[in-house]
Amino acid sequence: MKTVLITGCSSGFGLETARYFLERDWKVIATMRTPREDVLPRSERLRVIALDVTDSASVQQAIEAAGPIDVLVNNAGIGMLGPLEGISMETTREIFETNTFGTIAMTQAVLPQFRKRKAGVIVNVTSSVTLKPLPLLSVYTASKAAITAFTESLALELKQFNVRMSLVVPGRSPTRFSENAKSRMQGGIPEAYAAFAQSIFAGMGQSAGGTQPLDVAEAVWRAATDASSPMRIPAGADAVALVAG
């Protein structure tokens, strides 16, 4: 029986991915900043442990508590929407600490066991914003684009140890992203950008569809279990369309 460790499982993509692997008889280590047992079905194959990917001690404790794993899914991430002039450097660093450095830290922490066993898969969840430039997302996009470059480069180092790297690229998740980003938009939109931002927000509200958590769970499953899958796997009809277009 194989074991997967998934970061950011309290809601959204991570929660659905944990549920998906559980339903397919994997052992699942679901990590959250604040552990909650009630969000997932009870199972002897499930462990919920605390993890803050921005804290090196927390990362080390989580890896030690998890024990041997077969797959790491770096899903934990936070959103940010707004013009650069309205984003503090403190907020910018917060975005990179979770989305970029947190992913790198978790990857580095599991490499010794994967290298020694000459087996393992690391799945990094990025975003379709890396496929097409979009306004008001410069900081968020940069944090995710860095992970794309990191993954593609690291894959070349790890091939000799039979360790696979994969990127799951979700499309737009309107409600989840907005909820996630709100707490970092307290300063609002600078007046010079107000009209422009309003037109962008209006367009977002009118667009239908998007990516559902199940789309991401299915893509992560494919990345984890199908060695012949491409390195970049789009998740959601909108992401698939961007890749095809």
The catalytic residue positions are 140
| DSSP β-bridge partners for residue 169 | 234
Within 159-193, residue ranges assigned H as helices are: 174-182
Tokens of 49: 């442990």
Distances (CA, A) of 205 to 24, 28, 209: 36, 36, 11
Distances (CA, A) of 37 to 15, 41, 89: 11, 8, 35
Tokens of 4: 């997967």
Residue type, 13: F
CA dihedral 243, 5, 143, 118 (to 10 degrees): -80
Select from 208, 220, 226, 204 the least CA-distant residue to 12: 220
3-state class (DSSP) for residue 130: helix
Task: Quote the CA–CA distance of 184 and 191 in Å, as a whole number.
Answer: 17
Select from 208, 168, 233, 152 the least CA-distant residue to 8: 168
Tokens of 195: 């009209």
Task: Quote the CA–CA distance of 224 and 6 in Å, as a whole number.
Answer: 12
Q: Are strands 71-74 and 3-6 parallel, antiparallel or unpaired?
A: parallel
